Amino acid sequence: MDLAITDTLAFTMADDRLGILEDATVAIDDGELAYVGPASEFDGEADRTIDGAGRVTMPGLVNVHVHSGLTLVRGGAQDVPEIEWMNRALGPLSESMTPADHVAGARLGVLEALRSGVTTVGEYAADVARLVEAVYDPMGLRVVATETINAVGESKADLGPDDPYPLEAEAGWRGLERNEALFETYAAHDRVSALYGPQALDMVPRALLEEIRDRAETHDRGVHMHVAQGDRERRQIEARYGAGKTTVSVLEELDLVSERLLAAHLHGATAAERERLATAGVRMAACPSSIAAIDGIVPPLVGFREHGGVVGIGTDQAPGPGGHDFLRELRTAALLAKVDRTDPTAFPAWDALRVGTIEGARALGIADRVGSLEEGKRADVIVLDLEQPSTAPTVAEPLHTAVANLVYGATAGLVETAIVDGEVVLEDGVATTVDEGAILEEANERAEQLFVEAGPRWREAESELVERVDSGWL
């Protein structure tokens, strides 16, 4: 036996609740969970033991939708109208980024996610294989990588909101071929899997979407796509497909609405459309902080779950919601749901923990491997110290206050240990596979240079932030 976490409070997610086990032992051998059960019944000998007393041990958190490279421009596209965010605020910055900038941003974003207990990331990026090779594989995290397939050919900063984006079909087809290479390269990798990634209905030609649909069916693969993500997209769809058309209605016409689809956001869909999607087996990637910050809207994750749909949570990108602390994201998701529903019982802590683990794994299509502590699954495990000012005291009678305290009080600093595929990648709250100081130093240096170089283009785009700078607020 390689490692055992002993005498711990375990949230296994192995049943339809939290699978709470007191005084439990979780043992790992050869990257696999070899024992999960009462400490009194464990008779193995482990090469290494972690004392879990006063700790919570649970499956690693699953962040289903992330654009980690954009972490380098954190703080550069906040507090603007939704219609400006993508083209006038973020665009001038992101379009100035080099491949090396994206890698530096991804290292920072993934480090932040790891320190908050994330062991699996649903990464969504152009040339995502570069991030897998330079960031995820060396850091030892599990990643479900999605290649961005986008045919928008030029800067959109000078387009009106009702001007359809100019599409260059060849650019989209090149993205699809990169996606195919991703599937082939990582077909046998223990920690890397892939999904097709048409970025959004307004950014990919119809013929290319049909080809992606056919390939997904032929090869039994999933599709990860931004769907109905606000007023900007609604106007683009009507401009391209005609008055009265919606993202969901066109996807239905294209036969892309099925259990293969992981749909990010969905706040621009109607309640009836979301019910149809859930009924069809579509899974949802909800990004509460991002959509609240960019659109001023609460993603409809509660309603989607009420229709029987599977939901995972993502942190999206840092310029918008602010970052990739997943424990903070769970708290935000729960609180926003309560406000949106004017119901303090909406999306309770226990649901948040399941969505952050086993349901997130289901959303990404990897629940047969991770998401719960069950013998035979891969050993993706985190250990949290709740004996901290933000979460103490925790008691077990007459209820386990650790459940609520984890969701409403925990921060990244409480994660002591993270294990991925049986390997310890975070110990005493510090990453074991990378130099954290070097990551921060490179990110700072590159960001300073990037913002200076992008400054003139950013000013020319004339987002509201320019006026805020000129009036002394920023």
298-333 pLDDT, tens digit per residue, is 999 999 999 999 999 999 999 988 999 999 999 999
- Which carries the bigger pLDDT value, residue 161 or residue 10? 10
79-93 mean pLDDT: 92
State the burial class of residue 413 (Cβ atoms within 10 Å of its Cβ: 0-12, 13-18, 19+). Answer: middle
Residues facing residue 415 across a β-bridge: 384
State the burial class of residue 471 (Cβ atoms within 10 Å of its Cβ: 0-12, 13-18, 19+). Answer: exposed
414-456 pLDDT, tens digit per residue, is 999 999 999 999 999 999 999 999 999 999 999 999 999 999 9
- Domain boundaries, given as residue ranges, for the chain: 3-58+380-431, 61-364
Residue showing tokens 């009462």: 38
- Sort residue 117 into left (φ over 0), alpha (ψ -120 to 50) or beta: left
CATH fold of 3-58+380-431, please? Urease, subunit C; domain 1 (2.30.40)
What CATH number should be reported for the domain whose range is 61-364?
3.20.20.140
242-296 pLDDT, tens digit per residue, is 999 999 999 999 999 999 999 999 999 999 999 999 999 999 999 999 999 999 9
* Shared fold status for 3-58+380-431 and 61-364: no
97-104 mean pLDDT: 98
